[in-house]
Amino acid sequence: MRKQAPYYRQTWAAINLDAIHHNVSSYYQFLKKEREIMAVVKADGYGHGAIQVAEEALAAGATWLGVALLEEAIELRQAGIKAPILLMGYLANEYFSIAQSYDVSITITDIESFIDIEKYISAEHSALRFHLKIDTGMGRLGLWEEEQLDTFISLYKKYTQRSHPNLMWEGIFTHFATADERDQSFLERQISKFNEYVARLQQEKITVPYIHLSNSAGIFRTEALQYANLVRLGISMYGLYPSANVREELPFQLQEAFTLHTKLSLVKKVDSHVGISYGLTYRTKKEEWIGTLPIGYADGWDRNLSNASYVLIQGKRFPIVGRICMDQLMVRLDQEYSRDTPVTLIGKQGDQEIKIDDIANTLNTINYEIPCKLAKRVPRMYYKESQNEKQ
């Protein structure tokens, strides 16, 4: 396991790599090896740490990695990761040769980026590998009219008829907009639209090695599709469900990998009617024990959790009181606790638990956003339950 940089603060996220392993290998078994898994590790592995998650996912059966930015792909390569990487987002043509030099597959998101692609391909590196994105209803990136595929195919044929195009059509894919919802009618429309693109390729006798559609929510809804041979697994690899429906329908359980911890930095007894923090939005109702924690909104602990959320100390739940500051926040305690007593902001203590979903619900957002927004200055610690050690 990789060594951590030294750190001095008492706030950290602990990432359970066994949970990542469990989640990926559960999908691997579910897919019966008929489809490969792309572990989606964009946005620094949804805030969990891209390199560590990528290594664990690959050890658990994933064969591909998915990122949004070329910078993210380069970080993985510089860490020595050799697995195929797909850059799923837009990349300006002028950087295509850099993707080639790092052996990163790119996504072609429109005809325009393909028209004069030859100008941007370097002859010095191995072929520029690309996946063509089809917009079947997400409204984001990709070809959105079938006629565009005809134009695309004729351009592709023109390039490949030349002697050394140094270009490889490696995949075609789409992305679902509503796979996590119970009503699957729009999902089915997206699939049938995509089917038409795939059929068109078959008519033209163009074989691309990878055809993929599914995100976490779509995986078990697209089993019947014979041609799909890769899935893009994001949120569920981290142990989070894309929606309550998916939680009910998924035939196996996921394990949440991410927990968040800190320690009390000060505990004091405060008189009745004393205001706490900026704006004095909380006032003690009687003599109260108030604890200060070294975590704030600059760490990504959203200011909207002020007077609205909880922490766990010695298996008990205590409210955040007053406004969350940039680096600190205050909690109301039931008694005196010593300085440095451990505090859990996400995770379990005894029979109490604060889940990422609880925080997301309080903030009226989705679970994806919570670990993603946890700032870089919160160190990530990695452990394996099987090794029973924190490194």
Give me the torsion for CA of 245, 246, 248, 249, rounded to 10°. Answer: 120
Q: By CB under 6 A, which span of 112-120, 211-219, 334-342, 357-365 interacts with ligand PLP?
A: 211-219
- DSSP, collapsed to helix, strand or coil, labels residue 258 as strand
C-alpha to C-alpha distances, 71 to 312, 340, 368, nearest whole angstrom: 37, 38, 21
Asked if 255 and 347 count as a contact pair (C-beta separation under 8 A), the reply is no
The interface region with ligand PLP, picked from 7-15, 95-103, 155-163, 229-237 by CB under 6 A, is 229-237
d(CA 180, CA 221): 10
- Whether 263 is catalytic is no
Interface residue with ligand PLP, options 22, 175, 332, 380 (CB under 6 A): 175
Taking CA atoms, 29 is separated from 26, 33, 168, in Å, by 5, 7, 30
Q: Minimal distance in Å, beta carbon 269 to ligand PLP?
A: 46
**At 93, which amino acid appears?**
N
55 vs 53: CA distance, rounded Å: 5
Closest to ligand PLP by CB, 109 vs 309, is 109
CB of 216 to ligand PLP, least distance (A): 3
Q: Is 216 in the site for ligand PLP (CB under 6 A)?
A: yes
Q: Which positions from 37 through 66 interact with ligand PLP, judged by CB under 6 A?
A: 40
- The interface region with ligand PLP, picked from 24-32, 147-155, 210-218, 291-299 by CB under 6 A, is 210-218
Compute the least distance from the CB of residue 360 to ligand PLP, in Å. 14
Question: In whole angstroms, how close is the CB of 212 to ligand PLP at the nearest point?
Answer: 8
**Backbone dihedral angles phi then psi of residue 346, each to the nearest 5 degrees:** -135, 125
Find out whether 195 and 156 touch, Cβ atoms under 8 Å.
no
Q: Which of the stretches 209-217, 255-263, 315-323, 371-379 binds ligand PLP when contact is defined by CB under 6 A?
A: 209-217
| Amino acid identity for residue 72 in this structure | E
Q: Does 380 bind ligand PLP (CB under 6 A)?
A: no
Bridge partners (DSSP) of residue 292 are 266, 330
Among the listed residues 111, 28, 107, the one whose alpha carbon sits nearest the alpha carbon of residue 73: 107
Check binding of 20 to ligand PLP (CB under 6 A).
no
Query: DSSP label at 206?
Result: -
Shortest distance (Å) from residue 174 CB to ligand PLP: 9
> Is residue 235 near ligand PLP by the rule CB under 6 A?
yes
The answer to whether residue 137 forms part of the interface with ligand PLP (CB under 6 A) is: no
All residues at 6 or more sequence positions from 386 whose CB lies less than 8 Å from its CB, including other chains: 18
Contacts (CB under 6 A) with ligand PLP, residues 95-134:
none
Regarding 174 and contact with ligand PLP (CB under 6 A), the answer is no
- The active-site residue out of 7, 278, 376, 390 is 278
* 383 classed as catalytic: no
Instruction: Please identify, using beta-carbon distances, which residue of 184 and 341 lies nearer to ligand PLP.
Output: 184
Tokens of 383: 């452990």
User: Shortest approach of ligand PLP to residue 242 CB, angstroms?
Assistant: 5
| CB distance 106 to 132 below 8 Å | no
Which member of 42, 197, 282, 310 is catalytic? 42
Q: Is 35 among the residues that bind ligand PLP (CB under 6 A)?
A: no
| H helix or E strand, kind and range, residue 382 | strand 380-384
Residues belonging to the active site: 42, 278
Q: In the complex, which residues of this chain contact ligand PLP (CB under 6 A)?
A: 40, 88, 175, 215-217, 232-236, 242
